[in-house]
Amino acid sequence: MATDNRVVETTYGPVRGATDGDVQTWKGIRYAAPPVADLRFRLPEPPPPWGNVVDATSYGPACPQPDFPNMPLELGAPRAEDCLRLNVWAPADARPGDAKPVMVWLHGGAYVLGSSSQPLYDAHRLVTGGDVIVVTVNYRLGALGFLDLSSFSTPRRRFDPNIGLHDVLAALRWVRDNIAAFGGDAERVTLFGESAGAGIVTTLLTVPAAAGLFAGAIAQSSPATSVYDSDRARRVAVSFLDKLGIDPSDADTLADAPIAAILAASQEVFDEVPARNPGTLAFVPIVDGELLHDYPVKLAQAGRSHPVPLIIGTNRHEAALFRLMRSPLMPITPRAITSMFTQIAAEQPDLQLPTQEQIVAAYSRLGRRARFLSIATDAGFRMPSVWLAEGHGKVAPVYLYRFDYATPLLKLLLVNAAHATELPYVWGNLGAQGDPTLRLGGTRTAKAISKRVRTRWTNFATHGKPAGPDGEPDWTPYQDVDRACLLIDKRDTLASYVDAHIRAAWGDEMVSFR
């Protein structure tokens, strides 16, 4: 049972956490002021200081978000706009001055869903197994965090772009200034995330304002090319305002709009964008010329990413989850694939891009259904990760992986190693909270894989190298000479030139794919 524990003095005021067995936690700590009223659609501001000890034994609110019946999530907390909170997990014996490595987690959810309080992200096993401090972060989602209204700013009202990215930067600055008091080392911070959270990781790798805020990065299934220009962002903003019945000249009234109306409009736009433009998302980071100067993959390939070690990879069957949920977010049908390639060619007429026929031919060994699922997986996640790895490898070591393991139940459902299926292995929470994936067996194998993954992740955070348990293969950096990739399955295997014919078919110029 959790008990009240020691008080920690932060730069804004004291917080009291709790001890639960061999772990201490401090939950719901403010790292920014409530982003409400005039601060809605604005950059995060420092929170007002407090004098009395604040109870930090329960999670703060999750960011407001729509309900998607085909993507149900247990958020672990009620929703409210006062959501800019974080949680700290530490070994029970951690004290100031211990200088333990720190891992800062960014949750996924297509930039519109999720929270740091999801039961899946309980950090007990990660903390105790790796002797690390873990920080899980809320950031603003959907229209509140990733709608670019900056072109509608007026003297009466300023709208800031890339708010969600700025939230994460504010949280990282909080970690820099405060984590030593919890027993952490501000010089050894690893930023890690999955899906949209990994997209923030790969984006911040190329954001000048993020320099020095993290010493390592882990990107699990990053949609690294899902970063758009200001013109596309403006079209999304106009559509959003139209759903609310607001003329762009009256955009300043959004500060007073009911949150329910904002969420309803967000959901409509979120559904419409990928239906109209397969392979695209409504709410994503934007090349705004201020925080983000160009597309992250392009910057990485130019050697302009922060020189920190990086683990990056994907799951073998990413797109299968979207098929199972009947989600339009990924182009998994022949018609959607054709539409995606047609739009890419139209938007980039000066590039010598491979044709759809050339791409499809590279997957001829697969059956029809598997062929298009694999193309969607590679277009959305795998190839963007490979392109970024190739660029980032010019400035720092990069460790590329592919997660291949699937339990018997996931194989039966034809989901296999789909998007997000690696998460319980990273966190060590297999079978928790009613997770059915081990119902047909595979528990012993899954636990062994989880131990290997957690060991590699925490060793990377501690030493900058993802060493596995004794007897496991050495994971060498990704380089042109061998393109080393760790295949995570029943056994870890280090392979060279994985799917070389696929990589050759996509080529290099598709890095502008978005």
Token reading at 51: 């004098």
Higher pLDDT among residues 108 and 432, named by residue: 108
Element housing 261 (H / E): helix 259-276
* Contact status, residue 147 vs residue 246, Cβ threshold 8 Å: no
- Measured distance CA(383)–CA(354) in Å, rounded: 14
So what's the pLDDT on residue 512?
47
Question: For residue 349, what pLDDT band results from cuts at 50, 70 and 90?
Answer: low
Residue 353 has pLDDT above 80, yes or no: no
Q: What are phi and psi of 422, to 5 degrees?
A: -80, -15
Catalogue the active-site residues.
195, 318, 419
Written as one letter, the residue type at 440 is L
So what's the pLDDT on residue 513?
46
Question: How far is CA 336 from each of CA 113, 163, 244, 332, rounded to the nearest angstrom?
Answer: 24, 31, 29, 7
DSSP-H helix ranges across 285-440: 296-301, 320-324, 334-347, 356-361, 368-377, 383-392, 408-412, 423-427
So what's the pLDDT on residue 514?
45
Q: What is the mean pLDDT of residues 162-169?
A: 98
Query: Which pLDDT tens digit goes with each residue over 417-463?
Result: 999 999 999 999 998 766 788 989 899 999 999 999 999 999 999 99
> What angle is formed at CA 205 by the lines to CA 146 and CA 423, rounded to 5 degrees?
75
Q: Which of 2-16, 289-303, 376-390, 391-405 is predicted with the least confidence, judged by mean pLDDT?
A: 2-16
Residue 258 has pLDDT above 90, yes or no: yes
Question: For residue 337, what pLDDT band results from cuts at 50, 70 and 90?
Answer: confident
pTM of the model: 0.96
Question: What SS3 class is residue 349?
Answer: coil
Question: How far is CA 360 from each of CA 92, 368, 414, rounded to the nearest angstrom?
Answer: 53, 10, 21
In percent, the amount of the chain with pLDDT more than 90 equals: 79
Question: For residue 165, what pLDDT band results from cuts at 50, 70 and 90?
Answer: very high
Query: Which pLDDT tens digit goes with each residue over 206-227?
Result: 999 999 999 999 999 999 999 9
Higher pLDDT among residues 260 and 512, named by residue: 260
Token reading at 326: 């009947």
* Contact status, residue 311 vs residue 217, Cβ threshold 8 Å: yes
- Measured distance CA(419)–CA(316) in Å, rounded: 8
Question: For residue 325, what pLDDT band results from cuts at 50, 70 and 90?
Answer: confident
DSSP-H helix ranges across 435-492: 443-463
Q: What is the mean pLDDT of residues 309-324?
A: 94
